[in-house]
Amino acid sequence: MRHTERFFPALFDASAPLILWALYLFGVYAYAAVACDTAFAYTFWSGYAAIKVILLGVTALVVIVLLGILLRAARLLKNSQQGLTTFARVGIAVLGLIGVVWTAVPMLLMTSCIA
């Protein structure tokens, strides 16, 4: 019975990068849609569109968290004899990191909502 108690925490731990990517993807596009539809689209901070500053800040935070998850998975792979599960954790962390960076590309190209 003890083995089944650890299944769901291990599953969540392994799939955390993909869950984080999905939340990030939904969050940034929903925020950008709402912010561009309101008066916030006309707000600038030090010459930069406020929406872009916030979105890039969130992106940097998510990338830092994903790099931490990737380093943890790499350490588990280095120190463990478990083959497939720890290797899959590294691959999933890399996939989540690539997904977040790829999602951020339109934000880097965006000047502002009103341009």
Query: Smallest Cα–Cα separation from 114: which of 69, 49, 25?
Result: 49
* Secondary structure (H, E, C), 28-86: HHHHHHHHHHCHHHHCEECCEEHHHHHHHHHHHHHHHHHHHHHHHHHHHHHHCCCCHHH
What is the average per-residue pLDDT within 19-28? Answer: 94
Residue 44's DSSP bridge partners are 49
pLDDT in tens, 65-114: 999 999 988 888 888 766 677 788 889 999 999 999 999 988 878 766 75
